[in-house]
Structure 1
Amino acid sequence: MSSESAASGRQDAEPGPQPAKAVRLPAEVSSFIGRREELATLARLLVRSRLVTVTGPGGVGKSRLALRAAAEADGGFPDGVRLVEVAAVQEPMLLGHAVLEALRLTDSTARPPLDVLVEQLADRELLIVLDGCEHLVEACAELVDTLLRAAPGLRVLATSRESLQSAGEHLLPVAPLPVTAPAGSGPADAVALFADRAAAVLPGFELTERNAEEVALLCRRLDGIPLAVELAAGRLRALSVEQITLRLDDRFRLLTGGSRSALLRHQTLRTTIGWSHELCTLQERLLWARLSVFAGSFDLEAAQYVCAGDGIDAEEMLDLIGELVGKSVVMREESGFGVRFRMLDTLREYGGHWLRSTGEDHRLRRRHRDWYLGVATWGEVEWFGPRQAETAERTRLAHPNLRAALEFCLAEPGEEQIALLMAGTLWFYWVGSGHLGEGRHWLDRALALDPEPTEARAKALWVTGYMATLQGDLARARPALEECRRQALDTGDDRALAYAVHRQGCAALIGDEPARAAELFEEALWHYNTIGELNSNVLMAMFELGIAYLFQGEAETGQRWLERVREICEEHGEQWAYAYGLYAMAYSKWLDGEVRPARAHARECVRLNHLFRDLLGIVLAMDVLALLETEGPDADLLEARVLQGAAHRIWQAVGTPFFGSRTFNGPYRECEARARAGLTEQEFTEAFELGAALDLEAAVSRALGGDGRPGPQGTDGLPGPRPVRPSQVPAR
């Protein structure tokens, strides 16, 4: 449009207030908490982009963030910043009028309001905030496209649960507030928000050591959604923090109220989520309900298997999920295995209400169970081979859904055998990724439900006995393994018999009976060979047999078995059993006085087990590394004691230190005696406390030379350790 025509257009308009240098934004009536990174990003986007849309689910704080950013950006706009509350406009035809009103522009002609806006804003340098565009997204997109083309000095900051999909649009997705904070950095933003709003309704409220954990739990249960946190804080007028948390199973009934001056859609959590629900098509609503059976993240293939059919074709799933992502109902996230999706618990619970109302709840949960039983089964198969680390990570990503599937089996009559099978099949994850306690939880519950002597029960028994052994709980391990052995003999289950005898050997080994353990391992390996079994468990039996011989002083025989483990692991690309073999080789090299290769083996053991998050493998090798620090002319007794402290902390997360075994405790006792003899009492104690203060990442980094000490070298063809994420490790 030319300047002449623009001027002519303004003559047709009635005189009225022009957009002046003023910030037409509501004043903040409560403190602004967190969002430093988002504010900084938004400030940068507003400098380089003429259209920025802040997206996110309902109640996440899009409006508050946009208004704070707009207020801070005011200095860059000579004609000011104006707010248009699009959420209050229900008809697309009224959008232009609402913008005119917000800008304090009047026009009594019959011309379309968009034409008037084009004329009035042509030479203005102005920031317009369009707040709450999701229900008029097409009308908003048309308005923005037209105005930005006509007014080069105009910029638009929009908030919406979905993108406007306009040319040149930059998106800033907003997540809920963090519910955890780095150590030493003060409370997480969600916790700080709750404390601030709580103090407003309950004078004198403050975070204390006594209530901080409960407040953090409440904020986690609320997904860190600011609206939910604020509504929960409002309930402190009548309830304690603990009582609010207990009532969250019906959060939509509990979290009502809020400021009477707030938009109706922001006064209760139910209406906030319902606002998003109304914006979805019927198919999108149906998929939202069905996706509510997922806990945690899921991939497209899982969604297609579980949710397709009866109104939704599998081929439509990608587009439908994309629409729900666009509407901020489903969140998209990257993983090492491609794109995954998740719903906030609050949105999932809302979808669950709708799913139950359709009568599909049971069918969908059974399909969900079937998919994750397949995940567990395939993971067990894949555990033996070169993809072990990948399998561990895939299973970790599926962990919340595996829990949901197990819970379904345990709560549903007739599903007890599936519960036993699934919990037992996941042995590789419980043991190999540091979840012994949780594995015991599921297995104990499943075993208590059905005493029928089936293959599934036999497997659950030997897995239970195995994990109880690793925790040092022989009082539980031995009866479970003996029951498995008797059942296997009675039913002719040769596979269960092999595993029962094998794990009885483990119990004998940590029970300080290495000779008896060796006999049982030899018997188990005979059974494994007879039935043609070769997997990680078989390799562990070989490793354990080698250890049993080492503990008896038969080093040559033990080393032959360890070498056999190594050969098979290299042939099949197996790393987990290999890591335990490295622990044994480190111990063997120490016995032979070969400190350098012993240290290399132990460090490689730590590195590999850290990939799997196998705390047991890490801590066994760390205790050997501590002992090795006391050897030779360069012995460092302080470092030995630091590593002992770090190992002590890890043992607390595993179970009974050294399984309660005198034999396995030998390296620790030897190291402790040497350190005590060479250090003052103060040095001895302070070095241990320093190690015990290290978290897992810092402890692993320290063990691998991450404190500036020379890093480990590859040995005997082993690769040197790959870098571990840097941690703040106190200097010695």
Structure 2
Amino acid sequence: MRGFQGSEPPARETPGTGHRPGNLPAELTTFIGRQQEISAIKRQLARSRLVTVTGVAGAGKSRCAVETARQLQERFSHGVWLVELATLRDPELLEHAVVEALGVVDQVPRPPLVTLVEHLADRRLLLVLDGYDHLVEPCAEMVHELLRRAPRLRVLTAGRRPLGVAGERLFPLEPLGAPAPRPLPAPREDSPATLEVVAAAPVALEDGDAAAELGEAAALFAERAAAVLPGFAVTAANRRQVAEVCHRLDGIPLAIELAASRLRTLSLDQILSRLDDRFRLLIGGSRGAPPHHQTLRTAVGWSHELCTPQERLLWARLSVFAGHFELEAAEYVCSSPELPAEEILDVLTELVAQSVVTREDAPSGVRYRMLGTLRAYGADWLEASGDAERLRRRHRDWCTGLVTWCELEWFSPRQAEVALRINDEMPNLRAALEFALEDDEDGRFGLYLAATLWFCWVGCGRLAEGRHWLDRALELATDHEETRLKALWVAGYVAVLQGDTVAALTVLHECREGAERTGNARAAAYSTHLTGCIALIGDEMERAEALLRDALDRYEKIGELTSNVLMARCELAMAIAFQGDLALAVGICEEVRQACEDHGEQWAKTYALYVLGFSAWHRGDTPAAKEMLHESLRVAHAFRDLVSTVQALELLAGITASEGDPVEAAVLQGAAGRLWRSVGMPLFGSEFFNAPHIHCERQVRERLGPARYREYLRQGERLDADAAVARVLYGRGRPSAVASPRAEGERERLAVGESARRLPLPPAPRPDDESAGGAPQRA
């Protein structure tokens, strides 16, 4: 805290007292967490004479400000003084309240501000103003005058909006950390009882610190719960429920404390089941709490009362957004004659100032959000206004326009921007899909959204979610045949990548019949293309080649050039490479790579690089293979395309084994195995795609032995996609066993023969295959 020492010597204790003067109340409950925030506020107070802690209702602004002041008492020779203003209604009494809190006795008939200035003029003092939101203007005027007239005074304020005084530094106080509960791990095949034993073992807060491991919100919940339910502790058995309660309550301390108090009469599961009506559940705050903090509804309602009619209207309308939203979306969805689009920015700015809405820098740019609790409050008002249905339609229409734009821009230099944007918009897109699919009479919007988002499902790693929405959309009756045909081939696309050929054949057959019936050449081309992909993963390479060439001819006739057309060329190259003609496959993929660079396409390029890397390794050019596969892996992972990511990892595992590092190869195979479970059938169940994996496994097993191979395989299975990719590209985060001296020495001792450095040729053709005599010759 050097910042307090520059202007005068360190403060001394008041003679004869042994402690600093002040009026901070004694705390009745333990203060949990917030040490980083308190340190940051102290640093700000060292640089600025006015610091304001802002945040949503119930975020703990008051406690945080008081605790900060408590830790600073020794720095102020004339004390730390708290002025609580939440219950003060008459602005004329503001200065009187401060005079009274400071314990100043003045019977002279003069304005209280004059008394304050005289009292504070030469004092080194910290003034803490709490709960001033309804008195912002008079409070700002008073603070400005005091700071101007009392040069040694510092002021710490806590409220839902800034004062707006010159020199003010803001400290937005976020809710407590409350991460979403992790999915329960699947039990291992070799030890099915392991999970059960772990789940049954209690981990008390004071012993295993299970609550602290879940974050400060869970630690607060555990502390307050133990006060009303003696013996309560976060254990391995209940940690998931505790985490979910805290996460669904947005980490808001007031809400968490109120939920914990309900354990007097309810179980954790009962609390969770009633959180959909959180405002009814979360009542009964302590008697000593301010009136507007005794229930969650009154705490949020206090913020609502401080808003203007336009701010309340926008608050309610913004509740239709399920997550982050951008300014343009708010202007489109929420505008009306009584709230024109051109005024929304100003109103939104006020909601940000009042901590109702938060501004955030997301990957796709500046966005805004409301915590779930505030959104739920706004949604109640929107429903009461009778305008909820219209706003949800507006929201759906905005999402429809956004998805249309993103699909067009996917095949462009803005592809990476589209991927970031679509990732940020997923909560809103899900809400729009849900609303659209509720329309049993006309499923066109649901079909359109689910189909047009093909690039999201396929290119951004959301195969399972895409299949969920497509299956639901295709159940709806609709007269929009063209949209339905698109949804069918997209559903086939997703099923192919999951290795589910039966489902893929079913929907693609329906698509092809519909295309022939209606003369839809585009749907016919896509159904042919994706049927070729089924042949490719089904190891029917000649049939795959014929179908893919047919599809490419169809695309050319209708003038179709998209990422999917380039993907068809890559898949054709795979079929040709698996038949042994690597030179032709390389030529096709070089053309694809050039086309991608010409159009700014990156996603399809990862598949071209996969084939080029495969071919380079097969001909013994390991450095070139690694360079191309690393680039493919980097871009695929940035797009979250798990299929392209895991294919690159599989080949890189084989290359790593061929370079003499069986331990790392086993780890990479384990990581790939984990990723395949997120995709679908490992290596599509294909003999051809599986060949490098089997060859690598055979090599590594021979050198490590079965037991050690399984050991390092499990090491890899602990890596998620981020860790696995970082490990390959940057060499980070290797498990300790892999970096052991024994493992390092093993790398040096194990020599790999030249024959092991090459990828084996694809499986021999079947006896009935016409090309059994050798690889087909092509012009």
Query: Offset at 1:728?
Result: 6.8
Letter in 2 for 1:693: R
- Out of 303, 310, 313, the residue aligned to residue 276 of structure 1 is 303
TM-score, normalising length: structure 2:
0.87
Change in 2 beyond 3 A, CA 1:336/1:705: closer
Across the aligned residues of Structure 1 and Structure 2, the Cα RMSD in angstroms comes to 1.8
Letter in 2 for 1:299: E
- Matches of 1:525 and 1:132 in 2, distance apart? 68
- Matches of 1:350 and 1:182 in 2, distance apart? 24
- Percent identity between matched residues is 55
Matched, 1:579 2:579: no
Instruction: Give yes or no for contact 1:637–1:678 (8 Å, CA) kept in 2.
Output: yes
Instruction: Give yes or no for contact 1:694–1:729 (8 Å, CA) kept in 2.
Output: no
Query: Offset at 1:21?
Result: 2.8
Aligned pairs for 1:57-206 (under 5 A) are 57-180=56-179, 186-206=213-233
Change in 2 beyond 3 A, CA 1:430/1:181: closer
- Find the counterpart in structure 1 of residue 330 from structure 2: 303
- Find the counterpart in structure 1 of residue 369 from structure 2: 342
Question: Unpaired segments of 5 or more residues in structure 2?
Answer: 1-16, 183-209, 740-779
Q: What do the CA deviations read for 1:401-429 (whole angstroms, capped 9, x no partner)?
A: 11111111012344411101111101101
- Find the counterpart in structure 2 of residue 485 from structure 1: 512
- Out of 691, 704, 709, the residue aligned to residue 684 of structure 1 is 709
- 2:361 aligns to what SS in structure 1? strand
Aligned pairs for 1:410-489 (under 5 A) are 410-450=437-477, 452=479, 454-489=481-516
Instruction: Give yes or no for contact 1:34–1:189 (8 Å, CA) kept in 2.
Output: yes
- 2:86 aligns to what SS in structure 1? helix
Instruction: Give yes or no for contact 2:181–2:244 (8 Å, CA) kept in 1.
Output: no
- Matches of 2:676 and 2:398 in 1, distance apart? 35
- Find the counterpart in structure 1 of residue 54 from structure 2: 55
Instruction: Give yes or no for contact 2:637–2:645 (8 Å, CA) kept in 1.
Output: yes
Query: Offset at 1:110?
Result: 2.6
Q: What do the CA deviations read for 1:106-158 (whole angstroms, capped 9, x no partner)?
A: 22333221111111221211111101111101111111111111212211110
Change in 2 beyond 3 A, CA 1:519/1:402: same
Matched, 1:657 2:656: no
- Out of 597, 618, 626, the residue aligned to residue 645 of structure 2 is 618
- Matches of 2:93 and 2:430 in 1, distance apart? 49
Change in 2 beyond 3 A, CA 1:160/1:415: farther
Matched, 1:517 2:544: yes
Instruction: Give yes or no for contact 1:23–1:71 (8 Å, CA) kept in 2.
Output: no
- Out of 314, 319, 335, the residue aligned to residue 287 of structure 1 is 314
Letter in 2 for 1:648: G
Letter in 1 for 2:357: V
Aligned pairs for 1:562-577 (under 5 A) are 562-577=589-604
Query: Offset at 1:729?
Result: 5.9
- Matches of 1:657 and 1:197 in 2, distance apart? 47
Letter in 2 for 1:72: Q
- Matches of 1:583 and 1:54 in 2, distance apart? 52
Query: Offset at 1:699?
Result: 0.7
- Find the counterpart in structure 2 of residue 385 from structure 1: 412
- Matches of 2:238 and 2:254 in 1, distance apart? 21
Letter in 1 for 2:175: P
- 1:449 aligns to what SS in structure 2? coil
Instruction: Give yes or no for contact 1:698–1:729 (8 Å, CA) kept in 2.
Output: no
- Find the counterpart in structure 2 of residue 29 from structure 1: 28
TM-score, normalising length: structure 1:
0.92
- 2:154 aligns to what SS in structure 1? strand
Aligned pairs for 1:322-333 (under 5 A) are 322-333=349-360
Q: What do the CA deviations read for 1:62-114 (whole angstroms, capped 9, x no partner)?
A: 00100110000001001111111011111111111111121112223332211
Aligned length: 693
- Matches of 1:373 and 1:278 in 2, distance apart? 35
Q: What do the CA deviations read for 1:639-675 (whole angstroms, capped 9, x no partner)?
A: 1111111111211222221122222111111100010
- Matches of 2:307 and 2:518 in 1, distance apart? 56
- 1:129 aligns to what SS in structure 2? strand
- Matches of 2:364 and 2:707 in 1, distance apart? 49
Q: What do the CA deviations read for 1:591-636 (whole angstroms, capped 9, x no partner)?
A: 22222211111111101111111111111000000001122xx421
Matched, 1:45 2:21: no
- Find the counterpart in structure 2 of residue 6 from structure 1: none
Letter in 2 for 1:675: V
- Find the counterpart in structure 2 of residue 207 from structure 1: 234
- 1:664 aligns to what SS in structure 2? helix
- Matches of 1:609 and 1:664 in 2, distance apart? 18
- 1:127 aligns to what SS in structure 2? strand
Instruction: Give yes or no for contact 2:319–2:378 (8 Å, CA) kept in 1.
Output: yes
Instruction: Give yes or no for contact 1:118–1:147 (8 Å, CA) kept in 2.
Output: yes
Letter in 1 for 2:137: E
